[in-house]
Structure 1
Amino acid sequence: MRIDYVITGLDIGGAEFQIVALVERLAQRGHDVRVISLTPPLAFQERLSAAGIPLCSLEMHSAKHLPFALWRLRKLLKESPPDIVHGHMVHANLLVRLVRILVPNLKVICTAHNTREGGKLRDWAYRLTNPLSQLNTTISEAATRRFTEEKVFPREKTRTIFNGIDTDKFHPANQRDEKAGPFRWLAVGRLMEQKDYPTLITAFSHLPQSKLLIAGQGKLLSALQRQVKDLGLEERIDFLGVRHDIDELYRQVDGFVLSSEWEGYGLVVAEAMASELPVVVTDSGGPGEIVGREGKAGLLVPIKDPQALASALAAIEALPFKERETMGKQARQQIQERFSLNQIVTLWEQIYAGLQNNNK
């Protein structure tokens, strides 16, 4: 099957990691896959090249380049027609819908990677172009509820398809030993408002000894560094910047924390759980569906509540080592049973085949 993945951009982020993992696995299964980025790619070029997956850029730098990007996308699809065009994230989703006006026989799927992909204007753009998409998907039940209840996507053409985790790559350390010294927490994600790092940093001011590693980059770095300095936490909180060895980092720490205000899914939560880490995450959408509310695989806390977050972190730290180990094993089991990459890729294959055989 020939499948074109059209994405807004290729940078370091959860949606991008998931898309690259999907196309790699689809290519391994014999499908002819191509990735088309609206903007010039900033990451993953070597990885896609190594997998033999073509990468095209529409060279879109701003909204004024939309007509050019639309025409170039039309040309690509005409010259090398795919069986399925799969858009990811709002700008790419809208573009693949619009190009269907110019190439009417396209089979189009659009995937939203967050509970919200912008403000009211983008929601209305989705509503206006809904007839041009045969299927819409989101990455969590929380996101599906938001999009369908607010009538952004029609309920009858919307499904939840969770992200998939490569449980071979994200696996536990060969052996975790109880170590002396401070408990080491890891947070992973862009330094942006959605991730609500100020709440996490404030929570750490209530903990006496723990260390926090933050992997990611973004526009809030300077402000967050000032907050860390103002709270006297420079010796306990480290900003690691962009890391390409996140799977190794999971195996080097004692626990994982996510403080987001909202999340469509929370890919890093599932990665940490697959690595058998106890996790503390905010009830920010998708993460609650991954972790569950029973407290067996991790702890769920309200958003924007530093005291509740600090209490949950302290509760995990206070657990005997064997109990933390049991929680980590339960976490990995949940990922293997519900979110393994192979299961998700098989589901996508079934969806693509069904859409390909649908004459509507």
Structure 2
Amino acid sequence: MSQTSHPGGDVRRVQVIAPNFKRRLSGVTSTIVQLVPEQARTLPIRALGPGLPAHLPKLRWRDLPALWLRPDGRPFRIWHARRNVEMLPGILLRDVLRMPLRLVFTSASQRRHTAYTRWLIARMDAVIATSTRTGTYLTVPHSTITHGIDQSRFRPAESRQAARAALGLKPDRRTVGCFGRVRHQKGTDLFVDAMIALLPRFPGWQAVIAGRATAEHQGYETELRARVEAAGLASRILFVGEHRDIERWYQALDLFVAPQRWEGFGLTPLEAMSSAVPVVAADVGVFSDVVTPDTGAIVPPGDLTAMIEACERWMADDAAREAASRAALAKARAEFPLAREAEAINAVYEHLWREAR
């Protein structure tokens, strides 16, 4: 019998497959990396795809023929897709190769789907929306399950100064961060322009931009770096690239900014709040459901003036910022534990299995 790469993992035991067919780090990949180990506490689940971390329980490509065999104790396996590129193979495996599979799709998009995407979604056996706003763009019955955060990974630093020193940052400078892909949609230019306006008035602060600019956005990043250089702030507005240990960078922050012009869900404010960091966020995705006046501020998307004003208020008031830090952590722990999300998703699977019986 073919074996999975997870020690002792017989393919017949595998009941759920979480495909991840995008090698580059993304919010969807981050969701899979966090969720699969949590779901695996109570369910035989394996991830499938390239570029996944070694600790994740995984299925190998060579194991796919074994999926014609029914899993132990279940009438079929669940194929849980989160992108078009993962829905289509699931349909082929189920409908063309006649493998005993049922298909689940999680949608985070907050825009009208293309005809092709609607065709794919209509062929799913169950659909999950990551927010009520996301659900309004779906035309099929669905469940709403908001994301959670791995709070054993994203947690407050014992010392922000020590966290900064470990990353090579100036330890005594308070730090504001913006994490995610470097591109126009993510609003990186808004963050840069806000910091160019604010840092001369706040000499005790520095700014960190963590994230990758893909090939088509290299010119955009180059232009932003030139703006920073022209403002004489290259030593205080730092482009640090992409990091898979991003939790260490959250621990270095005193304030987080999510300046996106558009977002499907958006994990970064949750990750910041779980790290006890207040958040200034644009009103996109689920940010207005997550960030409340006691944990940060919501501003209109694309409104640079509003973003500058909101950041300035939090940067100028140490006591208010520390209170917001405590409130952010409390809210994240109460409302967004990863275990809650995993349990709700597993319940969707159980419903499909019960229906079959």
Q: TM-score range by the shorter chain?
A: 0.7 to 0.9
Distance of 1:115 and 1:314 partners within structure 2: 30
> Are the equivalent residues in 1 in contact too, given 2:129–2:143 (CA < 8 A)?
yes
1:3-152 mapped onto 2 (5 Å cutoff): 3-29=16-42, 31-37=43-49, 41-42=50-51, 44-48=52-56, 53-56=57-60, 75=65, 77-78=67-68, 83-102=77-96, 103=98, 105-116=100-111, 123-145=114-136, 147-148=137-138
Residue 216 of structure 1 corresponds to 211
Give 1:79 shift.
Answer: 5.0
SS of equivalent to 1:34: strand
| Cα distance change, pair 255–113 in 1 and its aligned pair in 2 (3 A) | same
Distance of 1:32 and 1:11 partners within structure 2: 26
Give 1:182 shift.
Answer: 4.6
Cα deviations by residue, 1:75-128 (Å, 9 ceiling, x for unpaired): 463256552111112221233234332237522111123324xxx7x6211222
Distance of 1:83 and 1:21 partners within structure 2: 21
Cα deviations by residue, 1:280-307 (Å, 9 ceiling, x for unpaired): 1111122222113xx1111111111111
| Cα distance change, pair 233–175 in 1 and its aligned pair in 2 (3 A) | closer
Query: AA paired with 2:316?
Result: A
Residue 204 of structure 1 corresponds to 195
Identify unmatched segments of 5+ residues in structure 1: 59-71
Query: AA paired with 1:310?
Result: I
> Are the equivalent residues in 2 in contact too, given 1:90–1:112 (CA < 8 A)?
no
> Are the equivalent residues in 2 in contact too, given 1:198–1:227 (CA < 8 A)?
no
Residue 290 of structure 1 corresponds to 290
SS of equivalent to 1:107: strand
1:139-218 mapped onto 2 (5 Å cutoff): 139-145=130-136, 147-148=137-138, 153-154=139-140, 157-175=141-159, 182-207=173-198, 208=200, 209=202, 210-218=205-213
Query: AA paired with 2:86?
Result: A
Query: AA paired with 1:125?
Result: Y
> Are the equivalent residues in 2 in contact too, given 1:165–1:271 (CA < 8 A)?
yes
> Are the equivalent residues in 1 in contact too, given 2:18–2:47 (CA < 8 A)?
yes
| Cα distance change, pair 263–57 in 1 and its aligned pair in 2 (3 A) | farther
Distance of 2:58 and 2:157 partners within structure 1: 34
Residue 263 of structure 1 corresponds to 263
Residue 302 of structure 1 corresponds to 300
Residue 353 of structure 2 corresponds to 356
Query: AA paired with 1:77?
Result: L
* TM-score of the pair, normalised by structure 2: 0.82
Percent of residue pairs bearing the same amino acid type: 27
| Cα distance change, pair 302–89 in 1 and its aligned pair in 2 (3 A) | same
Query: AA paired with 1:100?
Result: R
| Cα distance change, pair 222–57 in 1 and its aligned pair in 2 (3 A) | farther
> Are the equivalent residues in 1 in contact too, given 2:81–2:103 (CA < 8 A)?
yes
Identify unmatched segments of 5+ residues in structure 2: 1-13, 162-169
> Are the equivalent residues in 2 in contact too, given 1:84–1:356 (CA < 8 A)?
no
Cα deviations by residue, 1:207-266 (Å, 9 ceiling, x for unpaired): 123421011111333233223234433122101112233222222221111111111221
Cα deviations by residue, 1:336-360 (Å, 9 ceiling, x for unpaired): 2221001111111211111111139
State which of 318, 323, 333 in structure 2 corresponds to 1:336.
Answer: 333
Give 1:5 shift.
Answer: 0.8
**Root-mean-square deviation (Å):** 2.5
Distance of 1:97 and 1:286 partners within structure 2: 30
> Are the equivalent residues in 2 in contact too, given 1:94–1:125 (CA < 8 A)?
no
* TM-score of the pair, normalised by structure 1: 0.81
Query: AA paired with 1:236?
Result: R
Distance of 1:78 and 1:203 partners within structure 2: 55
